[in-house]
Amino acid sequence: MDKQHSIKRIGVLTGGGDCPGLNAVIRAVTKAAIAEHEFEVFGIEDGYLGLIENRIRRLTFNDVSNILDRGGTILGTSNKANPAHFCVGHNSAGEPIFEDVTDTALKHVSEHGLDLLVCIGGDGTMSGASRLVSRGLHVIGVPKTIDNDLAHTEVTFGFDTAVSTATDAMDRLRTTASSHHRVMLLELMGRNAGWITLHTGAAGGADILLIPEIEYNLEAVCESCLRRSKSGRAYTLVAVSEGAKPIGGQVVVDHVVHESPDPIRLGGVSEVLCEQIAEQTRLECRATILGHVQRGGAPTAHDRVLATMFGHEAVNMIVRGEFDRMVAMQGGRLTSVPIAEVADRQRLVPLDHPLVAACRATGASFGD
Ligand code: F6P
């Protein structure tokens, strides 16, 4: 029998941190699956958590109408629920107890008669998917994250919206920085990858960009700020990644989510830098941590289009029998890569990236 003819019922879940465009993918997958192939579609609530807790519901055409422009995810999500490493409680010392509950998840898949899952998520979600694949379940992955750091795809949906939101913030900081002749730092998300900062810094004309891939030298950062203030351009805009760190130093950890498979949450480097720059330069400094605003709100037109193409391609892959692979964009073309090759990997900014060179050429410093 043709592989695609064995697929009749598919499940869809959104895992990890949310981002704009998730609903556009859910819509594209559900509509294309129902209208073009008469599949039955089931939505799994809160990512792998709903699979473990058996919260699975039928999705109809109407359920996914009018959600294209809506941020977040109508299915909910969780970034603490990898079935292979799931927190089932805490010991008397308050430490989490982890168990492999993959069997429970697979039992619920089979109770609902699901032939395949479409897992929309980042590296953590692909890691969970990879484990399910190794247990014999068919999965198609769709690459999501504002961080744009998934391996083997040059773009993820959600990134464009995050950069657009962050650029708006940087534009606003420029006017107030200029009025008060201040050094303004804008701290951006991205974990250990500097994509959001690089693109926001380029689009917002940041004077200094501090990204995790290029460790900064505090002296060089202060030098740049002082040079600008002396040259009459009496303010400085600094775009700084939450994962930026000084040469030979450490990242700033905001808190630890012990139940999460990826427990470290970064944050606060801009506040540390703000104090250090103020002390060393005597310039007035302010730090803004943009935070989860970058993950919220309506997707840009670009992300709606990308999410729709990714979702439709996921269904095309099911029909072609191209299982256990993630949709990817390479050289501007849709393609796919094995999910196992994406799991637990991060795509960092290469030091010879043309946008790094363009920023340097237009006068920006990377603090090195
Ligand atoms: O991966 C997306 C992301 O927003 C990162 O940029 C950030 O470091 C992290 O998630 C924040 O996680 P949480 O939503 O758990 O605070």
Q: How far is the CA of 293 from the centre of ligand 1 (A)?
A: 11
Q: Which residues contact 279 (CB under 8 A, 6 or more apart)?
A: none
Q: How far is the CA of 15 from the centre of ligand 1 (A)?
A: 12
Confidence (pLDDT) at 325: 98
Q: Which residues contact 94 (CB under 8 A, 6 or more apart)?
A: none
Verify whether ligand 1 is closer than 6 Å to residue 191 (CB atom): yes
Q: Report, as an integer, the average pLDDT of 338-351.
A: 96
Query: Would you tell me which CATH number, out of the four given (3.40.50.300, 3.10.129.10, 3.40.50.460, 3.30.565.10), belongs to the domain 162-295?
Result: 3.40.50.460
Looking at per-residue pLDDT, the higher value among 105 and 231 belongs to 105
Beta bridge partners of 57: 43
- Do residues 13 and 120 touch, judged by C-beta distance below 8 A? yes
Verify whether ligand 1 is closer than 6 Å to residue 79 (CB atom): yes
Probe target for ligand 1 pocket from 191, 253, 258, 348, with the most ligand atoms within 8 Å of CB: 191
- Do residues 349 and 194 touch, judged by C-beta distance below 8 A? yes
Confidence (pLDDT) at 1: 44
The atom number, within ligand 1, closest to the CA of 292 reads 4
Active-site residue among 18, 147, 207, 324? 147
Probe target for ligand 1 pocket from 265, 269, 347, with the most ligand atoms within 8 Å of CB: 265
Q: Burial letters for 281-319: b for 16+ Cβ neighbours within 10 Å, e otherwise?
A: bebebbbbbbeeebbebbbbebbbebbbbbbbbbbbbbb
Probe target for ligand 1 pocket from 145, 165, 189, 292, with the most ligand atoms within 8 Å of CB: 189
**pLDDT, tens digit, 9 for 90 and up, residues 114-135:** 999 999 999 999 999 999 999 9
Verify whether ligand 1 is closer than 6 Å to residue 187 (CB atom): no
Where in the chain do CATH 3.40.50.450 domains reside?
2-157+299-342
Q: Give the span between the Cα atoms of 129 and 69, in whole angstroms.
A: 27
Q: Burial letters for 327-346: b for 16+ Cβ neighbours within 10 Å, e otherwise?
A: bbbeeeeeebbebbebbeee
Where in the chain do CATH 3.40.50.460 domains reside?
162-295
**pLDDT, tens digit, 9 for 90 and up, residues 156-181:** 999 999 999 999 999 999 999 999 99
303 catalytic residue (yes or no): no
Q: Give the span between the Cα atoms of 80 and 50, in whole angstroms.
A: 12
**pLDDT, tens digit, 9 for 90 and up, residues 248-276:** 999 999 999 988 888 999 999 999 999 99
pLDDT band at 216 (very low <50, low <70, confident <90, very high): very high
**pLDDT, tens digit, 9 for 90 and up, residues 69-102:** 999 999 999 998 999 999 999 999 999 999 999 9
Which tokens is 266 given?
């970064």
Structural class in CATH, domain 2-157+299-342: alpha beta
Q: Give the span between the Cα atoms of 80 and 92, in whole angstroms.
A: 21
Confidence (pLDDT) at 5: 56
The atom number, within ligand 1, closest to the CA of 149 reads 1
**pLDDT, tens digit, 9 for 90 and up, residues 11-49:** 999 999 999 999 999 999 999 999 999 999 999 999 999
